[in-house]
Structure 1
């Protein structure tokens, strides 16, 4: 992989809430996000930071993470505390679609997509750690992430994949024949086939990424898949992941007790449907830390973060 191009900031917009972990754009260029106090916010006018508007759409009563806009205007929400939700932006009504799977409570729903037939797919990052201790799973490398499917009209999710290393962002292929799943703990994207002779199988899509992939966002069927890199590669962590389980477990117990502060390294990728990297944008010393999501809006890139109290607006790379 060659040297990354510069990720050029254009503005920062405080949104009155901390941790806009996922950002998604609607067809009018407005950006929707969820913050740590449970509110779902809609942001408009981000290209004019001084005139940006923030509107509260709903409150989940939990901690919203991954979001997906539906054709009817409703919103799917992966809530780390309450499960998979459906939210009505017009009336603020929050409905639980699923809060357990196989008798086990959904404790860390991460990201969600809905396909054209109404089938919903979503990830669970870890079965071992809650959101507030996410770093423990990254360190211990538990491999307890899951990919789940919720059929139209059903309230019972089906487990499609297990053993994922901190399953996170999710995006469909342009023809909906596969899904791309981000495995944050393994620095890779995995393809899960939905159709064809290899339906139900997983395979590498993009490996040995330059950072830890978090949320992913598809810029329409003809656009690339944008991947947020929440942190850079950490060689000592790679080495720890090859250690014995007892060693990793002991390190994780320490990690969850030590205050975490992200580095200033920021990065995003754009990949095509063959897993080829089209763009790698990075900034080594960014004032905006821990980029967990990225989307296109009004000709700009908008970044979200589990850490920051606002969103960042950056330049789009040349087409």
Structure 2
């Protein structure tokens, strides 16, 4: 199977200054909130020892959710165990821990604190989306580019780090056309990384076209 990467459009957008703030949500492990409204029941899942959940995804089997957190990990909610487990990582530098165990501290990466200065080393997974045909999870990491990891998790494989000779600076949101296999994702800046993002940046919209 071959693939092509297209830089389809470049537009200037204004991004609120709040995007420069690492939005961190620290949940106490003992707190589980439940409730309901007129449409659905809901439950708040606690995060033990982790901060900054960004994007969420559910796999083709209905398991999860999966979430990218600020230390470069993708974690998965195990419903029958009622806990989060480490599922995948986006950086080799942060692969010293064992996967599929409770979230633990890692040198410079783990723990419930701001990892802003270590993001370029640990990785910062932002966009998540599953390929429903093969069960692979695709990841848009702010520093590592577009990556993929199989259904069993582990170290994600880089698919693309640049387009038309231009390196990605701030890979962000991600979605997949399940009928064609095309992967749509955004590169939020051609100049600045997430650590040095400015209120006004240039946004690139790209398609990674899989040819089956």
| CA distances 1:262-309 after superposition (whole Å, capped 9, x unpaired) | xxxxxxxxxxxxxxxxxxxxxxxxxxxxxxxxxxxxxxxxxxxxxxxx
Q: Given the alignment, which residue of 18, 25, 35 partners 2:58? A: 25
SS for the counterpart of 2:154 is coil
2:90 aligned with 1:60: yes
Counterpart-to-counterpart distance in 2, 1:123 and 1:64: 13
1:151 alignment partner in structure 2: 209
1:45 is displaced (CA, Å) by 2.8
Counterpart-to-counterpart distance in 2, 1:82 and 1:109: 8
Counterpart-to-counterpart distance in 1, 2:203 and 2:64: 31
Which of structures 1 and 2 has the larger relative contact order (alpha carbons within 8 angstroms, sep 6+)?
2
For the 8 Å contact 1:80–1:108, the answer to whether it is kept is yes
1:146 is displaced (CA, Å) by 1.3
For the 8 Å contact 1:13–1:52, the answer to whether it is kept is no
Number of positions where the alignment pairs a residue of Structure 1 with one of Structure 2:
141
SS for the counterpart of 1:132 is helix
1:66 is displaced (CA, Å) by 0.3
Counterpart-to-counterpart distance in 2, 1:54 and 1:10: 15
SS for the counterpart of 1:126 is coil
2:173 aligned with 1:111: yes
SS for the counterpart of 2:57 is strand
| CA distances 1:33-68 after superposition (whole Å, capped 9, x unpaired) | 11121111111339xxxx621111111112111001
For the 8 Å contact 1:63–1:79, the answer to whether it is kept is yes
Residues 40 and 10 of structure 1: CA distance in aligned 2, closer, same or farther (over 3 Å): closer
SS for the counterpart of 1:13 is coil
Counterpart-to-counterpart distance in 2, 1:43 and 1:33: 9
Q: Given the alignment, which residue of 185, 195, 198 partners 1:132? A: 195
Larger radius of gyration, structure 1 or 2? 1
Q: TM-score, normalised by structure 1?
A: 0.40
Counterpart-to-counterpart distance in 2, 1:112 and 1:12: 23
Runs of 4+ in 1 over 6 A off after TM superposition: none
Residues 90 and 29 of structure 1: CA distance in aligned 2, closer, same or farther (over 3 Å): closer
| CA distances 1:141-171 after superposition (whole Å, capped 9, x unpaired) | 33x10110111159xxxxxxxxxxxxxxxxx
Instruction: List gaps (5 residues or longer) in structure 2.
Output: 1-36, 92-122
2:74 aligned with 1:40: yes
For the 8 Å contact 2:47–2:84, the answer to whether it is kept is no
1:118 is displaced (CA, Å) by 1.2
SS for the counterpart of 1:107 is coil
For the 8 Å contact 1:110–1:122, the answer to whether it is kept is yes
Q: Given the alignment, which residue of 138, 163, 171 partners 1:76? A: 138
SS for the counterpart of 2:67 is strand
| CA distances 1:219-253 after superposition (whole Å, capped 9, x unpaired) | xxxxxxxxxxxxxxxxxxxxxxxxxxxxxxxxxxx
For the 8 Å contact 1:69–1:76, the answer to whether it is kept is yes
2:154 aligned with 1:92: yes
Q: TM-score, normalised by structure 2?
A: 0.59
